């Protein structure tokens, strides 16, 4: 698995990270649907508090609000990748995996700020929602900015850091820039569909 997560080609890193996320997503969705009470997570995350529980007055306003939140989220992945890596794995890899798991729990418990009519049982119907495409875009951001780490964690306890040598510049290959651009395009499109779905409820 490490071979693919740390592969020199972007598509291999992306598919490996997405595949790992899919396993966590399916497991968390199933467990939360069958074992957690409905709405148990509603209003308990930072993004839920920022998004609020009411739609904006227009499609454009709702879309811009969702885009702003998601661009900040994507920036956190890039910043995390910039900070450090551990045994070749950048910190930013953890974030989309955690978000896929959390999104699965939200689906299984119907904990969204603007809830669905009922909680969604594990099924392929999830491809009709926008969240999965947003998560895929975040995963692509993490894979595309894989190589920009400044520090290597040598030991977790006590924490020991060493600068990566030679110090990497914040520069990406053409393949990475294309991946990052594609991730942003997918994110904007998914956000537009989400905004449309919200304002037309």
**SS3 category, 29:** helix
- pTM here? 0.92
Compute φ and ψ for 119, nearest 5 degrees: -65, 150
**How far from chain centre, in Å, is Cα 65?**
17
DSSP state of 136: H
CA dist., res. 142 & res. 103, Å (int): 17
CB contact at 8 A, 197 and 115: no
pLDDT digits (tens, 9 = 90+) for 154-177: 888 888 889 987 777 778 999 999
Give which of 4, 8, 6, 10 is closest to 177, Cα–Cα.
10
pLDDT digits (tens, 9 = 90+) for 112-131: 888 888 899 999 999 999 99
CB contact at 8 A, 10 and 143: yes
pLDDT digits (tens, 9 = 90+) for 14-43: 999 999 999 999 999 999 999 999 989 887
Q: What string of H, E and C letters represents the secondary structure of 162-178?
A: EECCCCCCCCCCHHHHH
Q: Is the pLDDT of residue 200 over 90?
A: no
Q: What is the mean pLDDT of the chain?
A: 91
Percent of the chain residues topping a pLDDT of 70: 95
CA dist., res. 19 & res. 63, Å (int): 29
Q: 40: which 2 tokens?
A: 């148990």
pLDDT digits (tens, 9 = 90+) for 61-90: 999 999 999 999 999 999 999 998 998 899
* H or E segment to which residue 154 belongs: strand 151-155
Note the pLDDT of residue 98. Answer: 97
Note the pLDDT of residue 96. Answer: 97
Note the pLDDT of residue 66. Answer: 93
């Amino acid at each position: 698995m490490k071979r693919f997560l740390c592969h020199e080609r972007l598509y291999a890193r992306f598919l490996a990270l997405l595949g790992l996320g899919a396993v966590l997503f399916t497991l968390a969705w199933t467990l939360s649907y069958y074992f957690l009470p409905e709405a148990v997570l509603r209003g308990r995350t930072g993004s839920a508090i920022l998004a609020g529980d009411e739609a904006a007055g227009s499609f454009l306003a709702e879309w811009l609000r969702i885009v702003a939140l998601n661009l900040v989220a994507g920036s956190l992945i890039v910043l995390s990748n910039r900070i450090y890596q551990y045994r070749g794995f950048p910190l930013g890899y953890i974030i989309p995996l955690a978000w896929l798991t959390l999104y699965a729990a939200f689906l299984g418990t119907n904990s969204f700020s603007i809830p669905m009519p009922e909680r969604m049982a594990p099924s392929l119907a999830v491809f009709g929602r926008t969240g999965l495409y947003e998560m895929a875009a975040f995963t692509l951001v993490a894979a595309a900015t894989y190589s920009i780490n400044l520090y290597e964690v040598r030991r977790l306890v006590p924490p020991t850091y060493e600068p990566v040598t030679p110090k990497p510049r914040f520069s990406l290959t053409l393949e990475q820039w294309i991946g990052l651009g594609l991730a942003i395009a997918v994110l904007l499109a998914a956000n537009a569909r989400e905004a449309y779905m919200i304002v037309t409820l």
